[in-house]
């Protein structure tokens, strides 16, 4: 009783002694509230992420010591502390800057507390029972309600006096106890007790002296990697912290608004599935929050569990992983989240408990990255690996879960754990540190230490000097990374500041999702390597006992590993398997391990590579971009090593392909097998300081320089392919290059081999490698003509291009490669044909024929009418036509025409009919084989006449003359390579002049008539000038005129019938037309980028012979109105066909 009274008295004195600082405390609180004006209503600190019923069934009691109301000018702060069963409550009230303190003690007897309670000298009974392995108990912390956030210190346990946990010493002669102890009053005494004193203040084992220089090294640092970490990049950051925990990486600064360095990352986690096991997902009160934060990206997995309305912990954890656009916290805002609510409620309280079935469900749904922000609130060293002990670590786990962990780590899974929230703990929880007992899990395991504010007074202050760690890395340092643990969340419309490793872990999980998005072929171990080796070194240099590998650096982690480490790879080499695609590691890479590259994809290393192990390139490609490469390289027979002006320090053994681009140096030997190939581009040189043995290998020469295609003239370019400081052994057994190039190599001295590359004649090459299609031959001749002109200009300029032809030469270089590529040759040649400018003119001629045919039919029907009348008649006709334009060796065009004519005519005498008509047309043609498309709008006028009267003479003569204007829009793609496509859009205006005359003789037999006839047709089309400006290989052409004159002979028949008192004349005809001249519609043009070189462009020409057939009907509805319809078909032997349908009405008045 005296002891309890003393404690109460000490508590009262402590409360009174703090009254003088109350105003200062209130001021700090108000400052924090202003700093987060939307968050002042609710602050929540998670001092532990666990529930408390571990094996002894003791629950953590959380004392509320920071429970402010919304900042309104009056601030109330309540501090409640339970000391040895005595409840002391201090209430701080601040009104207008003045603070008062009220102390409430449960038994009214004041006690002063001014230092930690000293543990008793005698052993204290531990109520923790022995738990059998078949009944593991997992401790989880209940989730706090966001509307009443609680800021907790180190968990306080409820015994009536300070707890001294004892680990039993079990002698070998004693039988192992495997069942719970029936009588917990029988203590098990541990000779090395663990003291857990509830009132003991938090003591950081590595204090920060804010007003002193950063901590310096006092001795050698021992870290897991067998070699020291290489010197970091030079200082580039301006905001490197100078106070607080030691900051060792000068290349990165600290931004309190972006503590994990994610702001510049454009990745978003798309396509990556993350599994999160936590609480609150089955809390119906949080359904709206889940929808707002994650939308349809979150899928709640059925676990059979439910959460109380206060459970929100998992919502905040999930938001850290993948909160959407409304959240500033989400690291991977488009990742798919599988949410498993593992809340478990028992008589001892509410906590978290996973099962193997939950994990398997997540795995089967595609999750390979798992976040676990929970665990047992005891450091892993509280347990042991003695299976006879009641503290045996496996007693805390179900065996099926341990088997799942082992199997899925082996299968590439990654498990990320919160380390714990006890500032006095030098080791993480047993879950986060499980690889300490099960080393096979380390490949896919990450423990995350949280950095958080020093005290409640500075909650929300993220300055670096204000941060300290919670539970530290300790024996788990080699799989530990650190991250910020304090964040602002919005829950049910209220903002809270939450703190703990519960929220540091999902920041790492979100980063893992980004790494997986960028490198989808990475397994959990490679993702882990990327995150740990790119962490910013803080605290003691190297991998330390507090922060592990250092502070999370999201941006750097998404650029691949920064170290190849045997300890992380669990092998002598880091193995990278890229099935397809091109991926880049842009960080500098050091380390003691080597690199093994498998898979057909390409790995680009753009940083300095100083790792010490050997590089084994089995398959695919490794590209080294311009930096030092310290590793020896062995290139397998399916591998390709690309050196871009690189220094290779330790030699190359080449059994596959070695591509040298630029000036590269090998500071050791280059040994080639007979089956290997050395690829050298223009202007490149490979200098070998050591021995060179070519062994009759192959030299392949390319027309590239610095990775960019170069134009090669017919004369060629000579360069040094390989030089050596020693005599070169052997020579190349074969010289290869692409199809459009010629190549030779000469050993000019014992230390040098020179190579010459020149181009072939394009027309000859295309004829040799293609089927000889006319369109391709025309393109090849055009290219050769242009290249010959370009060659002359380059030679005149001493082998270099000029400002006027440089752009054209660059694009010509692209063509030299693509024409020689079997995969692109036909596409490129097709697109360069420009045939549409020739072939589309055939459509213009067809439209003139269509108008002519409609007027011809109109005149014939006028001759058949009984009631022409001696007054004016008006008629209108609608026309539709479609057909094809084709010719062997060219692309085929599909045509469509919509047109109409409006006419006026009158019979001036018995034998003469005169008339005039206006026409309008819209036509289009689309060519296959990348020929392009054209749309033409035309307008025209015609005069027509007929001489002859069916009642007086069987002879007739009829004809028309017409003039039209056509406005054409042409669009086509100009393809120089797969990745070099431009679209040409031009307009040209054309003029059309047409004339037609026909004469025939009617033979009558009652109502049946036969009319043989002959005719003459003449059409002239004058195409306007055009220029395609969007490509160096666009076409430029002046105006061109096309003409065709043809004669025809035909037979027409008609039959008069009466239907319902109306006369109907049925007609049919056939005629054959032959041109007097060949018109192939070709024209002179040049490429826009080199207009000095002219060439012919050809396309589908006009048919010399064609046949028309048609049928029609004319009905005289009454003496003033007649209706007519016709169908005409044009046939050619090889140039396609055309269908024309017309229908109209004539009204006499």
Query: Could you tell me which of 862, 903, 860 has the C-alpha nearest to residue 879?
Result: 903
**Strand pairing partners for 992?**
964, 1021
Residues 974 and 1034: beta-carbon distance below 8 Å: yes
CA–CA distance, 851 with 939 (Å, rounded to integer): 11
In Å, what is the CA distance from 683 to each residue of 636, 701, 711, 756?
27, 11, 13, 10
Catalytic residue check, 211: no
Cβ atoms < 10 Å from Cβ of 23: 15
Query: Could you tell me which of 1145, 1086, 1088, 1141 has the C-alpha nearest to residue 1120?
Result: 1145
Pairing outcome for strands 486-491 and 494-499:
antiparallel
Place of tokens 């084989």: 929
Active-site entry in 279, 313, 839, 994: 313
Region for 585 from its dihedrals, namely left if φ exceeds 0, alpha if ψ lies in -120 to 50, beta otherwise: beta
- 1005, with CB counted inside 10 A (0-12, 13-18, 19+), is exposed
For 616-638, give the secondary structure using H, E and C: EEEEEEEEEECCEECCCEEEEEE
Q: At 16, which helix (H) or strand (E)? A: helix 2-17
CA–CA distance, 570 with 581 (Å, rounded to integer): 26
Query: Could you tell me which of 1083, 1100, 987, 971 has the C-alpha nearest to residue 1037?
Result: 1083
For 838-854, give the secondary structure using H, E and C: HHHHHHHHHHHHHHHHH
Cβ atoms < 10 Å from Cβ of 183: 6
Query: Could you tell me which of 103, 75, 76, 99 has the C-alpha nearest to residue 89?
Result: 103
- Residue 959 three-state SS: strand
Catalytic residue check, 278: yes
For every residue of 153-195, DSSP letters joined together read -S-B---SS-EEE------TTSPPP-S--S-TTS----SS-EE
Residues 54 and 374: beta-carbon distance below 8 Å: no
In angstroms, the first-to-last Cα distance of the chain is 130
CA–CA distance, 472 with 421 (Å, rounded to integer): 9
In Å, what is the CA distance from 863 to each residue of 855, 858, 945, 1146?
13, 9, 11, 14
In Å, what is the CA distance from 192 to each residue of 155, 188, 189, 203?
21, 12, 9, 21
Residues 410 and 445: beta-carbon distance below 8 Å: no
CA–CA distance, 1025 with 1039 (Å, rounded to integer): 4
- Residue 356 three-state SS: helix
- Residue 735 three-state SS: strand
Active-site entry in 501, 502, 697, 833: 502
Residues 283 and 307: beta-carbon distance below 8 Å: yes
Q: Name the token pair of 165.
A: 């946990």
Catalytic residue check, 313: yes
For every residue of 886-933, DSSP letters joined together read --TTS--EEEEEEEEEEEEEEE-SSSEEEEEEEEEEEEEEEETTTTEE
Residues 589 and 576: beta-carbon distance below 8 Å: no
Residues 705 and 724: beta-carbon distance below 8 Å: no
Give me the active site residues, please.
278, 313, 502
């Amino acid at each position: 009783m005296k002891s309890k009274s003393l404690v109460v008295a000490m508590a009262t004195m402590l409360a009174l002694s703090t009254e003088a600082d109350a105003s200062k405390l209130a001021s700090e609180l108000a400052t924090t509230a202003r700093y987060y004006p939307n968050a002042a209503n609710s602050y929540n600190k998670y001092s532990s992420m666990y529930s408390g019923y571990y094996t002894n069934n003791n629950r953590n009691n959380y004392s509320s010591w920071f429970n402010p109301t919304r900042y309104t000018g009056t601030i109330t702060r309540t501090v409640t502390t339970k000391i040895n069963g005595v409840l002391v409550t201090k209430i701080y009230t601040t009104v207008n800057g003045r603070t008062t303190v009220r102390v409430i003690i449960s038994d009214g007897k004041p006690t002063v507390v001014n230092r930690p309670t000293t543990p008793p000298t005698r052993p204290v009974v531990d109520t923790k029972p022995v738990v059998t392995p078949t009944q593991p108990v997992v401790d989880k912390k209940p989730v706090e309600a966001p509307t009443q956030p609680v800021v907790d210190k180190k968990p306080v346990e409820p015994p009536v006096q300070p707890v001294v946990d004892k680990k039993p010493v079990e002698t070998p002669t004693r039988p192992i106890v495997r069942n719970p102890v029936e009588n917990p009053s029988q203590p098990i005494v541990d000779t090395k007790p663990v003291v857990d004193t509830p009132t003991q203040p938090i003591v950081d084992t590595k204090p920060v002296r804010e007003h002193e220089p950063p901590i310096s090294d006092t001795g050698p640092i021992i870290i897991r990697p067998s070699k020291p970490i290489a010197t970091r990049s030079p200082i580039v950051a301006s905001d490197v912290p100078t106070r607080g925990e030691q900051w060792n990486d000068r290349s990165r600064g600290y931004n309190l608004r972006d503590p994990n360095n994610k702001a510049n990352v454009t990745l978003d986690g798309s396509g990556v599935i993350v599994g999160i096991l936590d609480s609150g997902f089955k809390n119906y009160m949080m359904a709206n929050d889940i929808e707002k934060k994650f939308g349809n990206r979150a899928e709640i997995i059925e676990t059979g569990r439910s959460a109380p309305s206060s459970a929100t912990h998992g919502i905040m954890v999930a938001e850290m992983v993948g909160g959407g656009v409304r959240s500033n916290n989400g690291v991977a805002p488009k990742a798919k989240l599988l949410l498993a609510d593992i809340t478990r409620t028992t008589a001892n309280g509410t906590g978290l408990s996973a099962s193997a079935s939950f994990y398997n469900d997540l795995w089967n749904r595609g999750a390979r990255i798992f976040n676990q922000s929970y665990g047992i609130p005891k450091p892993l060293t509280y347990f042991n690996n003695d299976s006879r002990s009641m503290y045996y670590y496996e007693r805390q786990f179900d065996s099926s879960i341990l088997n799942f962990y082992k199997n899925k780590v082996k299968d590439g899974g990654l498990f990320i754990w919160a380390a714990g929230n006890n500032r006095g703990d030098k080791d993480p929880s047993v879950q986060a540190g499980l690889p300490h007992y099960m080393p096979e899990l380390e490949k896919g395991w990450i423990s995350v230490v949280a950095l958080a504010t020093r005290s409640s007074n500075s909650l929300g202050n993220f300055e670096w000097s204000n941060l300290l760690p919670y539970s530290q890395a300790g024996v788990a340092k080699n799989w530990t990374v650190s991250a910020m643990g304090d964040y602002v969340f919005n829950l049910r419309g209220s903002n809270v500041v939450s703190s703990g490793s519960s929220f540091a872990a999902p920041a790492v999980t979100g980063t893992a999702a980004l790494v997986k998005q960028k490198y989808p072929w990475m397994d959990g171990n490679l993702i882990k390597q990327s995150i740990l080796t790119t962490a910013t070194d803080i605290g003691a240099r190297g991998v330390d006992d507090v922060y592990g590998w250092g502070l999370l650096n999201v941006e750097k982690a998404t650029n691949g590993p920064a170290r190849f480490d045997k300890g992380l790879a669990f092998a002598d080499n880091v193995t990278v398997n890229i099935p397809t695609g091109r991926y880049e590691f842009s960080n500098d890479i050091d380390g003691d391990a080597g690199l093994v590259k498998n898979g057909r994809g390409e790995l680009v290393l753009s940083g300095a590579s100083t790792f010490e192990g050997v590089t084994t390139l089995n398959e695919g490609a490794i590209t080294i971009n311009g930096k030092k490469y310290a590793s020896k390289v062995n290139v397998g027979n399916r591998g390709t090593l690309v050196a871009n002006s690189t220094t290779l320090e330790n030699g190359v053994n080449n059994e596959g392909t070695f591509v040298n681009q630029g000036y590269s140096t090998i500071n050791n030997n280059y040994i080639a097998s007979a089956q290997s190939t050395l690829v050298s581009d223009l202007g490149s040189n490979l200098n070998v300081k050591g021995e060179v043995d070519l062994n009759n290998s192959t030299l392949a020469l390319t027309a590239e320089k610095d990775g960019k295609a170069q134009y090669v003239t017919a004369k060629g370019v000579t360069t040094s392919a390989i030089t050596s400081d020693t005599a070169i052994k052997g020579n190349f057994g074969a010289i290869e290059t692409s199809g459009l190039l010629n190549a030779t190599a000469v050993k000019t001295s014992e230390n040098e081999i020179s190579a010459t590359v020149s181009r072939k004649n394009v027309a000859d090459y295309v004829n040799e490698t293609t089927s000889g299609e006319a369109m391709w031959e025309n393109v090849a001749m055009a290219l050769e003509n242009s290249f010959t002109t370009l060659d002359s200009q380059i030679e005149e300029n001493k082998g270099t291009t000029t400002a006027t032809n440089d752009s054209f030469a660059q694009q010509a270089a692209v063509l030299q490669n693509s024409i020689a590529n079997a995969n692109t040759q036909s596409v490129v040649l097709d697109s360069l044909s420009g045939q549409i400018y020739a072939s589309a003119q055939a459509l213009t001629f067809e439209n003139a024929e269509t108008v002519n045919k409609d007027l011809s039919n109109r005149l014939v029907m006028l001759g058949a009418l009984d009631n022409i009348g001696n007054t004016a008649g008006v008629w209108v006709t609608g026309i539709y036509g479609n057909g094809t334009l084709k010719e062997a060796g060219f692309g085929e065009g599909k045509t469509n025409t919509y047109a109409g004519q409006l006419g006026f005519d009158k019979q001036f005498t018995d034998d003469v009919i005169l008339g005039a008509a206006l026409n309008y047309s819209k036509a289009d043609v689309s060519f296959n084989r990348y020929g392009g498309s054209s749309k033409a709008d035309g307008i025209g006028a015609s005069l027509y006449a007929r001489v002859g009267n069916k009642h007086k003479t069987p002879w007739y003569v009829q004809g028309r003359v017409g003039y039209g204007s056509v406005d054409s829009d042409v669009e086509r793609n100009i393809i120089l390579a797969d990745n070099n496509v431009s679209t040409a859009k031009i307009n040209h205006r054309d003029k059309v002049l047409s004339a037609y005359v026909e004469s025939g003789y009617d033979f009558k037999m009652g109502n049946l008539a036969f009319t043989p006839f002959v005719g003459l047709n003449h059409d002239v089309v004058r195409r306007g000038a055009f220029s395609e400006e969007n490509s160096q290989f666009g076409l430029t052409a002046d105006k061109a005129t096309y003409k065709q004159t043809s004669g025809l002979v035909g037979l027409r028949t008609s039959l008069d019938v009466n239907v319902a008192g109306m006369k109907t004349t049925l007609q049919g005809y056939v005629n054959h037309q032959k041109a007097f001249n060949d018109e192939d519609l070709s024209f002179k043009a040049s490429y826009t980028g080199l207009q000095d070189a002219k060439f012919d462009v050809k396309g589908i020409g006009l048919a010399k012979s064609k046949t028309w057939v048609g049928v029609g009907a004319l009905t005289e509805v009454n003496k003033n109105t007649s209706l007519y319809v016709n169908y005409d078909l044009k046939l050619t032997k090889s140039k396609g066909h055309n269908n024309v349908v017309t229908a109209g009405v004539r009204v006499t008045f």
